[in-house]
Amino acid sequence: MIQMKVISKRFGQINPLSIDSYIKAEGYEALKKAVAMHPSKIIDEIEISKIRGRGGAGFPAYIKLRALSNETGNKYIVCNADEGEPGNFKDRMIMENDPHAILEGMVIMAYATGSTQGYIYIRGEYQNAMNIFKKTIKAAEECGYLGKNILDKGFDFNVEVRSGAGSYVCGEEFSMIESIEGKPGRSRTKPPFPTEKGIHNRPTLINNVETFANFPHIVLNGGKKFAEIGTPSSTGTKLISLSGNVKNKGLYEVPFGTSIRDVIFKLGKGLENNRSIKMVQLGGASGPIIPEYMLDMSIDFDRFENFDSKTGTGAIIVIDDRFDIFDILLINMKFFVHQSCGKCTPCREGHVQIVNLLNKFISHRATEKDLMSLENLAYVIQQTSLCGLGQTSMTSIISSLRYFRDDYFAKVRY
């Protein structure tokens, strides 16, 4: 079997609204084990596991945890459930199918870092997940896994649900911090990093939903065992949101190192109506577009980083040969025009110009000069934007210029 269910093990097996059902399936065992350990030993296990963040950037989790634990005073823990990247639905699936696992991960890390207040920032469109999580918090409080004097160990931790309001950029750490403070979600300049100055200028840890859901497994089974799964640079499993023109769209969990082709053909059962693949977009709107011959590439953070992108979210969007690459690029770029927060010029103005240039190609009015302008502008936006939105939004353009250059030439007017 190419699937390996760790995070999705309980999906469909338990009643997500019943804490008893979760407890019967090993739920809160990891927390019980954790509170018997020295806090720094928990972070050691996370380091040994070599787990990297599942929100896209693939940053080693222990570094942020240790940074937070070294701070004193009020500290915050935030679960990033903003999931706005088109093509992703894995975080929604975890929240709807195994919400206590996320909460347990948060409580363990609150204990490990000495934090007393937590937030889960759920995108406004995920009303169902929001209702489920509010009930999850209440049930955990009633059973003594959350709130005051958790498991009689004398530590307190509260979690509040915060709703997004339709802004993709709020998935970015500083934008999210601004939003949690009740303000427009415009990013801040780094450093200082959130683990030094985050919410109300206090140290703040932000991790993705899937990252938090992994923590209980690492604590329960040990970091060493976790590190044996996957590849040397990307350990553990990855939830894959498979969508587009495949027969079996859906959520799959595979160990890192699995090839993209296997996910599409073995799990997704190939394309509908026996069509062939024109392109595959990885990660979402801010991810690269690759041709069919590259599908043997394995799912691995370092492979994705070759594209200078945050594609570790695990979305795979399959697009068949009926579609033109420019239509896909135009949808991606209009998304960024709409989602730019407007704080810096390259991103605010640049995306509008990119859309104008793409339209020129689409209507066969583009010249070789336009091709050069598109390429130059894409690199300017990537290199001069203030936050991750503008730094990653050009990945689909840049990768398509590399792998689908003939499609551009076919549209250029000589």
Q: Site residues (CB under 6 A) for ligand FMN? A: 53-57, 59, 80, 82-85, 169, 171-173, 206-208, 211, 387-389
Q: Which of the listed partners (ligand FMN, ligand SF4, another protein, none) does 98 bind, with a CB threshold of 5 to 8 Å by partner kind?
A: none
> Amino acid identity of 197?
K
3-state secondary structure of 234: coil
3-state secondary structure of 398: helix
Identify the residue among 92, 343, 360, 411 touching ligand SF4 (CB under 6 A): 343
Identify the residue among 331, 363, 364, 379 touching another protein (CB under 8 A): 331
Contact segment (CB under 6 A) with ligand SF4 among 211-219, 272-280, 283-291, 344-352 equals: 344-352
Round to whole Å and give the CA distance between 21 and 6.
17
Round to whole Å and give the CA distance between 81 and 120.
7
3-state secondary structure of 373: helix
**CB 381, CB 366: distance < 8 Å:** no
How many other C-beta atoms lie within 10 A of the C-beta of residue 409?
Answer: 11
Round to whole Å and give the CA distance between 134 and 95.
11
In angstroms, give the least distance from the CB of 88 to another protein: 7
**Which of 105, 100, 108 has the alpha carbon at shortest distance from 41?**
108
Q: Which is nearer to another protein, 123 or 351 (CB)?
A: 123
Q: Which of the listed partners (ligand SF4, another protein, ligand FMN, none) does 183 bind, with a CB threshold of 5 to 8 Å by partner kind?
A: another protein
260 alpha-carbon distance from chain centroid: 18
Residue with tokens 């999931």: 83
Q: Which of the listed partners (ligand FMN, ligand SF4, another protein, none) does 366 bind, with a CB threshold of 5 to 8 Å by partner kind?
A: none
Q: Which is nearer to another protein, 91 or 253 (CB)?
A: 91
Angle between helices 345-362 and 368-384 (to 10 degrees): 160
Q: Which of the listed partners (another protein, ligand SF4, ligand FMN, none) does 173 bind, with a CB threshold of 5 to 8 Å by partner kind?
A: ligand FMN
Which residues contact ligand SF4 by CB under 6 A? 169, 187, 340-344, 347-348, 385-387, 389-390
Which residues contact another protein by CB under 8 A? 83-89, 91-92, 123-128, 162-168, 179-186, 241-245, 249-251, 281, 285, 317, 319-320, 323, 327-328, 331-332, 335, 338-339, 341
